[in-house]
Amino acid sequence: MEGTLSTSAPVSASVNPRKKITTISLRQKKERGEPIVMLTAYDYPTAMAEDQAGVDVILVGDSLGMVVLGYENTLPVTMEEMLHHSRAVSRGAKSALLVGDMPFMSYQVSAEDALRNAGRFLQQGGMDAVKLEGGRERVDAVQAIIGAGIPVMGHLGLTPQSVHQLGGFRPQGRTASAAKRLLEDALLLEQAGCFSLVLESVPARLAELVSRRLAIPTIGIGAGVGCDGQVLVTHDLLGLFDRFTPKFVKKYANFHAEMQRAFAEFKSDVESKQFPAVEHSVEMADAEWVSLLKEVE
């Protein structure tokens, strides 16, 4: 264990030569037509792996409430929980732009509250920017946060913190009037100064239209290929979260099944005394052993 710790920590910092991704580099990617890659992370090793894989943006999403902490939805997640996980992610990722997701009730009550909590993500969580959900009703909060020099990412469409108002985790913007309202909200968030916008679970052609109308990059999740970038919840992508998988998720691995297999194999090895083997054990010199036996026998 001592060996593992002393070798893994410094190497991670030195082998990652990528330049730091900024809000400006994301805008430039949109202008060049290069898709932006975003993933969620909630801990140090995942953040490190994503950073080394070249992911542009790492979001410490409040989805951690569901996929890591086991809550029913994202509503119970607190600022303290978000900051705890943000700090771990910031220790693991050095190049990706780090975005902290503002949890429910950390920005809805007042613009001052929103600014204070956004500031905590940068001061205490090691984040570079924050994300919050909602459209026209959030413009004051967005302006207050940006006024303090903190970049803000917006989030429209299926906004999970409004799950009860939306009547469940369901696609949004499917009628002409809902789609028009979403486009208006997107333009308002851009005018308010957001550097980017997540579009979640909206029709692909609506997301493409919004992406064309905005100068800032859109990042889609369940919003089709016409967005300027894509994001997935990492636990969905890895097949780590077994409770349910949204239709828009592509699973790149099945880590839940692989974890179960490894745990069952460990159990069997322990019970049959196959583990630990000699190579997993610590030895002492024969002379020391003989000397001990002389003393105690």
Residues making contact with ligand KIV (CB under 6 A): 40, 59, 61-63, 101, 155, 198, 200, 221, 231, 233
User: Residues with Cβ < 8 Å from 269, sequence gap 6 or more?
Assistant: 275
Nearest-5° Cα angle at 39, 6 to 158: 145
Q: How far is CA 68 from CA 42, 60, 145, 255, in A?
A: 8, 12, 28, 14
Give strand pairing partners of 97.
57
CA dihedral 60, 63, 68, 71 (to 10 degrees): 140
Q: Give the nearer residue to ligand KIV in terms of CB position, either 179 or 237.
A: 237
Helix (H, G, I), strand (E, B) or coil at 231: strand
Q: How far is CA 28 from CA 36, 77, 102, 153, 215, in A?
A: 10, 33, 26, 16, 10
Separation of alpha carbons 213 and 209, rounded Å? 6
Q: Give the nearer residue to ligand KIV in terms of CB position, either 12 or 64.
A: 64
Q: Give the nearer residue to ligand KIV in terms of CB position, either 23 or 40.
A: 40
Is 288 one of the catalytic residues? no
* Residue 43 · residue 88 · CB < 8 Å: yes
Please state the φ and ψ torsions of residue 148, each to the nearest 5 degrees.
-95, 10
Nearest approach, Cβ of residue 99 and ligand KIV (Å)? 9
Q: Give the nearer residue to ligand KIV in terms of CB position, either 30 or 155.
A: 155
Gyration radius from the chain CA atoms: 23
Residue nearest to ligand KIV (CB): 61
Give the count of beta carbons closer than 10 Å to the beta carbon of residue 124: 15
Nearest approach, Cβ of residue 3 and ligand KIV (Å)? 35
Nearest approach, Cβ of residue 92 and ligand KIV (Å)? 17
Nearest approach, Cβ of residue 73 and ligand KIV (Å)? 11
User: Residues with Cβ < 8 Å from 28, sequence gap 6 or more?
Assistant: none
Q: Give the nearer residue to ligand KIV in terms of CB position, either 12 or 44.
A: 44
Q: Give the nearer residue to ligand KIV in terms of CB position, either 51 or 200.
A: 200
Considering 50, 81, 133, 200, which one is annotated as catalytic?
200
Nearest approach, Cβ of residue 235 and ligand KIV (Å)? 9
Nearest approach, Cβ of residue 21 and ligand KIV (Å)? 17
Which residue numbers are catalytic? 200
